Amino acid sequence: MQVAIDGPAAAGKSTVAKLIADRLNYVYIDTGAMYRALTLKAHNEGINVHDGNALENLLKKTTISLNTDNGTQSVLLDGEDVTEAIRQKEINDDVSFVSQHAEVRTLMVERQKKLAESANVVMDGRDIGTHVLPQAEVKIFLRASVSERAERRYKEQMEKGITTSLKELEQEIALRDKRDSERDVSPLVKAEDALEIDTTSLNVEQVTEKILSLIKGADPCDAL
């Protein structure tokens, strides 16, 4: 079973995907974390995030692993835990530049497809239902207003002790939406056969239950 969850930044994709994977004992694959890890390494090695060829060469010699233990996922970059480091503001600012390069996306998609080959998976990102797992049995596209998404990101950062401006977050999210939707390669779009869910007025549990119901209906084992 393959479950694809797409949507813009801070729409709740990762939170919901983790819960679904945990309840169904599926493998959770956070594709955004993979791009973030590459962005972090580019920063560390002084690679220009606008240089697609340099990023492609960097990715070829980079190992990115997603490990789950007791429901908590960690991201390893060349064996080092970077779970927290990839959520820094400077990574947020540049990851959309890194992910827009065709050379980078081609390699990443190959890796993501391979991760989904041998297990039931829940994968979230921007182009899962359209490019990475176009044959997924369940496809979801999550939406939420910019103000709601900024409020969620604001609360997350405050809980981590990160002081930020709500207005600045709104501007950052709106800009990220523009970059993701207008990029030439694998832009952020809803797959034709995906169910769109507006999460603005829904809590995490409500969204999770909606998707779990869809998965149950799509799983042939449940019909036996």
pLDDT in tens, 50-89: 999 999 999 999 999 998 877 688 999 999 999 999 999 8
At 64, is the secondary structure helix, strand, or coil? strand
For residue 158, give the amino acid letter: M
Average pLDDT over residues 209-215: 94
Q: Are 26 and 122 in contact (CB under 8 A)?
A: yes
Residue 224 lies in a domain: no
Query: Is the pLDDT at 219 greater than 70, yes or no?
Result: no
> Which pLDDT score, from 0 to 100, does residue 221 have?
52
> Which pLDDT score, from 0 to 100, does residue 224 have?
29
Query: Is the pLDDT at 13 greater than 70, yes or no?
Result: yes
Residue 221 lies in a domain: no
For residue 220, give the amino acid letter: P
Give me the number of domains the chain comprises: 1
Spatial CA neighbour of 107 closest among 51, 57, 44: 57
Q: Give 152-165 pLDDT, tens digit per residue.
A: 999 988 888 888 89
Residue 22 lies in a domain: yes
CATH code of the domain covering residue 119? 3.40.50.300
Residue 222 lies in a domain: no
> Which pLDDT score, from 0 to 100, does residue 162 have?
81
Q: Give 114-165 pLDDT, tens digit per residue.
A: 999 988 999 999 999 999 999 999 999 999 999 999 999 999 888 888 888 9
Residue 72 lies in a domain: yes
Instruction: Determine the structural domain holding residue 119 and report its residue range.
Output: 2-216
Q: Are 56 and 45 in contact (CB under 8 A)?
A: no
- Mean pLDDT for the chain overall: 92
Q: What pTM did the predictor assign?
A: 0.88
Residue 51 lies in a domain: yes
Please tell me the distance from the alpha carbon of residue 51 to that of residue 122, in angstroms, as a whole number: 31
Q: Are 26 and 1 in contact (CB under 8 A)?
A: yes
> Which pLDDT score, from 0 to 100, does residue 45 have?
97
Share of the chain above pLDDT 90, in %: 79
Terminal C-alpha separation, the chain: 16
